[in-house]
Every structure is written in C-alpha cells, then in structure tokens.
Amino acid sequence: MAWNYGDVYEAVADKTPPGTPALIHAGPGGTEGRTIMWDEYMVRTNRLARAFLDAGLEYGDKVAHYMRNCPAYMETLTACFKSRMVHVNVNYRYRDDELHYIFDNSDSKAVVYSSEFREHVAALRDRLPKVNLWIEVPPEEDFDAPVADFAVNYENVVSQGDGSKLGIERSGKDMFFIYTGGTTGMPKGVMWEHEAMWAATGHGASLLNPDADPPATTEEHGDRVAALPLRAKLIPACPMMHGTAMLSAMNCHTQGGCIVTTPEHSLDSDALWGTIDRYKVNTIAIVGDAFAKPMLRCLDENPGKYDISSMFGMLSSGVMWSPEVKQGLLKHNQNMILMDSFGASEAVGFGRSDTTAAGTTEVAKFTIGEECKVFTEDYQEVEPGSGVPGFIARSGAIPVGYYKDEEKTAKTFPVINGVRYSIPGDWCTVEKDGTLTLLGRGSVCINSGGEKIYPEEVEETLKTHPAVEDVLVVGVPDEKWGQAVTGVVKLHAGVNFNEQELRDWVKERLAPYKAPKRVLPADIALRAANGKADYKGASNFAKSTLGIAS
C-alpha cells in the first residue's frame, strides 16, 4: 500500500459528514472568525492543485509556502500533496537575501505568499527566474484586495473552476521538505517521503486510538476515523513554517480534525485562551516554556475567565518544558495530558515524556522511542546505565537526506553496522530502564577545561532560581578554560540582579565545573517568536559584553 497524505485526506473526507469543520481562522482576540468545512476544503485544494498543474508544474516541483499561520498554509500544503508537488517552508522572518537563498536553493517553481510580504517578493522576483507562478493570499478582511501585477489572487484560484478530484495516482515516495536552520550553517531542506513520515508518526494513530494496529488501506483508515467519538480541534500556536506545528497539523487532519489558526503575529495568551474557549479546542502545539509560561501566567491572573474544559492535550517539542509550569497548567485542567516530544526535523520519535495530574516526569527525561539507540562519537553503542553520553539515533522511518547536500547527508545519516540512522546531534545518556536524559545539541556543547558541559542542564538549574524567568548558557573563548561557561539571564520584573547568588545556586546543585564563570543580565531577546533559543545571539551578546572579539 502506497501511503500518501493526498490519498489519506481524500479517504478521510469521503467518510466525513457535511458540516464538519476542517479549518478555522479565528478573529482578533479570540472573536468569531471564518470556518471552512471538510467538503469545501477538498474542493478548494483540488482547484489549487489544478492551478499548479495548469501553470506547467510537474511531479516533484517545489512550492514555497511564505505565510504566517492561516487556512491558506494548510490548503497549499494539501494541494501539494494532491498534485504531487513538494512543500517548501519559508521562514517569514527572513530578510531578502535569506529569502532568496531558500527560494533558489529549493528550486521553487511556485511561491504562495501572503500580501503582507509583497514588498519582499517584488524585490526578489527578478532574481528568481525558476519561479513561474506567484500566488498572493489577500488579507483575511478583504479577499478582493488588489494583488501584485505579477501574481494571481489566491481566493480567486480556490473559489473558481473544477473542484473535483484530480484522479491521479500518487506514490508513497512523493516528498515534502522541511527546511531547518539548525545551529550552524545555511538552512537545509530535509527530504521526507510521505510513507516514511506516515510510519514515523504512528501510521495514523492518535490520542483517541493510540494502540490501533496500522490500517491496511486508506479506506480502512477512513472508516476508523469515521468511528472516532470526536473530531479533534488543534491550535498550532507556534508557526507552521516549523516542523512542530506543521506535523501536528498534518496529523490532526489524518484524523479528520480541524486546524484552528489565530491572526495575532506574536504570542497573545489572552487571545489564545479566548480562541480555545470559543471554539472548544482540544489540543495545542507549543514550544516549551517560551509559550507555556505566559499562557500559565494569563490563566493565573484571570481565574475563571476562560472555559478550557475541552482541552485534553498539549504538545511541545524543540525546547525544555519545566515541570513546575506543567503542574501549574494542570491545576487549571486536570484532564489534560502534557506531551513533551523529543525529535527534530531530521527524525521523529526519539522519545516522549507525558505528564498528567496523576504523575510527572523530571525535566529532560524521555522514554526512548522504538528503533532508537545511543551511540558515541565513534559509533559505539552506549550501554544503558553506563552513564556514558552519546548521540541519539533513529533507524527505520527517517528522511532521504538533505536536498542538494550529499556531504551533510552522509554525516547526519550514517550507516552503522549495516543500518542507516538519523543522528541530528542531540546528546543524551540512557538509563538501564531505557529512559533518556537529554543533555543538549552537540553543536552548542561547551568544552571547558576538557569537560563537556551541556547547556540545557545548566539552564534548567538556573531556571529553578526564583529570580530567573529565562536563560541561555553559552561557551565563550577563554585563555584558561578554552571555553568559559556563561549564562545570559532574563529576570522576572522587579527583581534585583545578583550574579554571585546565581553562580552559587548552580554550584550547590551541579558539579562545580558546570557552574557559569559569569552570569550576565540580558538586554536582548533570548528566543525567536517561535520559542527556539537564539544561541548565536546570546553568544554574540556575551562576547560583546565581556569585551571578547567575535
């Protein structure tokens, strides 16, 4: 059976009753917005898929998605699946040269972009001769707004013409790309085959049927979805241009669910909880404490304002999510499962940690996933319980590699003892019971006086100090130590900075060599709006503050 998301979505739609929502775009502040039902969703995406084909795009051509979270993002992704095109995610925070790199490196033939980014697109168009189709998504409040003279209006495309099924045979080998910036180098396109992602994410399993055997056909999967007790509603609170939100949205639609997006350009906890209340959202995808802390603060400061009883799941991936914040959220809804997923754009399912009102898990502790092992730098398998740190690796359902980068592909996806693995570079230790303790990404590992120090471990210790709201730990050049552990902290409002107290706090809780040699109060943003740590910015700030040449 060839598993292709275009076929899966059609099979689900065939068994979905009329009037079932597929996409909701909330109004500002959690007010009433626009709803697209599943039958309409299928028709709109069929029209968009035909537009790609009518423009001369062929199987395997790349379509760049240059949008914030909105219905058009998911519709464009689905249209790519149906027409056998390749999704390319574009970071809308990039500047022109960075944007040009993504469009050019990916060999994009079509670009679907929001009208707010028209100026950037216009500036780049002449430098992108491979692009032969520009589709502009008009603002939500005015679908008839003029678009660029070189583009077509997205809403005109999806609301007119033949909306029937394309009737083409698709393959499980069809691809979609996830461009990832990582911590060093230029962004790379991770090449995923549909059938590999389908397998890596559980063959269509969900919280509502977690133990089901893989279905034999898409029709059987559609029947299972039709029998589910409810259709989930998911808010991808983090940007869909990143893997956490995009894969969560894809999985929600495999279950016949509904993707709920919000119009705010940055995290607005009041609007988020208001949207959850209005639309009775069940699950939300976030990125660790960067999202969870302000969301919890909003609930604490507004007791009883929001009805969040519909929520049964919160998913985080990419950064640490501290136990005290999880417990705080569970006080507001004890029926939720808080899921910490350990993975990367290059591999899904390294490990998972679930927290409920009945029990919690230590920070950075994960249950190792199937087909996962831990290897040392020389590819020797780490014995569980040995305490030896190593790289987490996954075999089986993994990507093909990086687009147009054979050297990096060979490094990240090595063959060990005849088995091909994905090793993005996350360090961990593995206990006798198979529990993983995440230590950090190897590229930000600090080597101080010959000792390897993992930033996340020191960061999580500093975060337990009542004065600290957020922190990043970096290594800066040092004549004595090689690299000196340096903390860059953001304090809670109204708290006085005491560097020695913070250093002592770590020394009392970790081996002294792991304690920061310096702790600096941050006057920069430590994280991007998606919650991901800006280690490069923190390192540059620390070196500048300490008078160290970059």
d(CA 524, CA 113): 30
Helix (H, G, I), strand (E, B) or coil at 16: coil
Helix (H, G, I), strand (E, B) or coil at 236: strand
Q: Could you tell me if residue 280 is left (phi over 0), alpha (psi between -120 and 50 degrees) or otherwise beta?
A: left
Q: Is the pLDDT of residue 181 over 80?
A: no
Q: Residue 247's pLDDT is what? A: 96
Mean pLDDT computed over every residue of the chain = 92
Tell me the β-bridge partners of 284: 235, 314
Q: Residue 361's pLDDT is what? A: 60
| Residues contacting residue 260 through CB under 8 Å, at least 6 positions apart | 24, 25, 26, 233, 234, 235, 275, 279, 281
Q: How are strands ordered across the β-sheet holding 482-491?
A: 468-478, 482-491, 518-521
d(CA 268, CA 248): 20
d(CA 117, CA 516): 42
Residue 499: pLDDT band by 50, 70, 90 thresholds?
A: very high
* Tokens describing residue 125: 């168009």
Beta strand spans in 295-346 (E): 313-317, 337-344
Residue 184: pLDDT band by 50, 70, 90 thresholds?
A: very low
d(CA 534, CA 479): 25
Q: What is the pLDDT of residues 243-264, one digit of tens each?
A: 999 999 999 999 999 999 999 9
Q: What is the pLDDT of residues 150-178, one digit of tens each?
A: 999 999 999 999 999 999 999 999 999 99
* Tokens describing residue 117: 């980014």
d(CA 473, CA 485): 7
- The DSSP-derived string for 122-139 is HHHGGG-TT--EEEEE--
Q: Residue 363's pLDDT is what? A: 57
Helix (H, G, I), strand (E, B) or coil at 441: strand
Q: What is the pLDDT of residues 395-429, one digit of tens each?
A: 999 999 999 999 999 999 999 999 999 999 888 88
Q: Residue 218's pLDDT is what? A: 97
d(CA 424, CA 345): 9
Averaged pLDDT for residues 479-488:
87
| Rg of the chain over all Cα atoms, to the nearest angstrom | 23
d(CA 542, CA 550): 10
Percentage of residues of the chain with pLDDT beyond 70: 96
Q: Residue 450's pLDDT is what? A: 63
Q: Is the pLDDT of residue 352 over 90?
A: no
What is the pTM for the complete model shown? 0.85
d(CA 418, CA 99): 39
Q: What is the pLDDT of residues 214-224, one digit of tens each?
A: 999 999 999 99
* 364 contacts 435 by C-beta, under 8 angstroms: no
Closest CA to 464 of 289, 285, 287, 338: 289
Residue 448: pLDDT band by 50, 70, 90 thresholds?
A: confident
**Domains (range + CATH), the chain:** 5-286 (3.40.50.12780), 365-441 (2.30.38.10), 445-545 (3.30.300.30)
d(CA 47, CA 55): 12
Closest CA to 231 of 7, 40, 20: 20
C-beta atoms surrounding 327 within 10 Å: 14
Closest CA to 197 of 87, 108, 48: 87
